[in-house]
Each structure stands twice: as structure tokens, then as C-alpha cells.
Amino acid sequence: MNELIIARINNVDIVSAVNNGETLVPIKPICTAIGIAFEPQYTKLKEDDTFNSVITLTVTTGADGKQYAMACLPPMYVYLWLGSINPKNVSDEARPLVSKYRIECAEALYSHFAGTSNREREQNQIEIRLLEEINGLTEDMQRAKNELRQKKECLAKLRTERLNPQPTLFL
């Protein structure tokens, strides 16, 4: 199993573990780093519909160098879990950082979802403008085809008359 330090929180190294090609992050060291009880967090994660399907027990190396079975989350879910932690439940030292993190999460989520809406709205407006231009060009093309057909008919009539002259007495 490969391990990699991915963050340092309050002088505690947060290590990710790669097990069978899957990267996992133990949650207990994070709980320790922010001064929150591990057991209630572990219970919360196991009872949550989103987290209970992704939380796993994996053997990792603890801070003391020994091997332990630790509750782990894939990195994608760590950010969501951290955003769900109430700053009132963490150590006084970590409280400002946890509060700041939650605000950053809210800003990132808003930016992502509101940005997506804005991009979709802009793309819809561009699409509408392009469709209107295409419709206008299609109408212009139809008019040009009709005009071309009429000109060809006139040319054909002129050629027919010129190539097949009939005497006319009265014009």
C-alpha cells in the first residue's frame, strides 16, 4: 500500500493511502487535527446515505508508524464531510479554520452551480441567435433559389424563341 502526505492540519500530517489502485483518506487523523471526537463523526458517516456506501476500513500506517485498520473516505467525499462539520464541535484552535473552510465550500458550490446556470443561459442565448441567423439565411437561400429558377426560366424562354423563330406578323 502506498501512502502520501496530502495535507498538514494543526501540525498533523494527513496521509492518503492507495489500496488496490484506490486512493483513500483516513478520517481519524483529521478528527484529531481539528480537535473533534472521532466516534461521533464515524457514526455520522455510517448513518448518512451518501457516506455509508463509500466509507471503508483500510489498514494504514498511523502517526506512530504502526499498522491500524482505519475508517477512510475517497478524497472526493472528504471535502463534503469536512463541510458538514459544525465549527462549534471542533477545538478552539481549529474553529476559525473550519468556519473559513465552510464558507469556501459554500462559495465554491455557489460558483459551480450558479456559474453553470449562467453558462447555460449564455449558451442558450447564443444558440437562439445562431438559429435566427440560420433561419434568415435559409429564407435568403430560398429567395435566391426562386430568383435563380425564374432567371433560368426566362433564359430558357429567350433561347427557345431565338433558336426556333416563328414568323410573327404582329408584335
Give the pLDDT confidence score for residue 168 in this predicted structure. Answer: 65
Helices (H) and strands (E) in the chain, counts: 4, 5
Ranges of each domain in the chain: 2-89, 94-162
Q: Check if the beta carbon of residue 5 is closer than 8 Å to that of residue 29.
A: no
Q: Per residue in 32-77, pLDDT tens? A: 888 899 999 999 999 999 999 999 988 877 667 788 888 999 988 9
Report, as ranges of residue numbers, the positions in the chain whose pLDDT lies below 50: none
C-alpha dist (Å) from residue 145 to 77, 112, 130, 151: 60, 48, 22, 10
**Domain 2-89 indexed as CATH 3.10.260:** yes
Give the pLDDT confidence score for residue 51 in this predicted structure. Answer: 95
DSSP-based three-state secondary structure for 23: strand
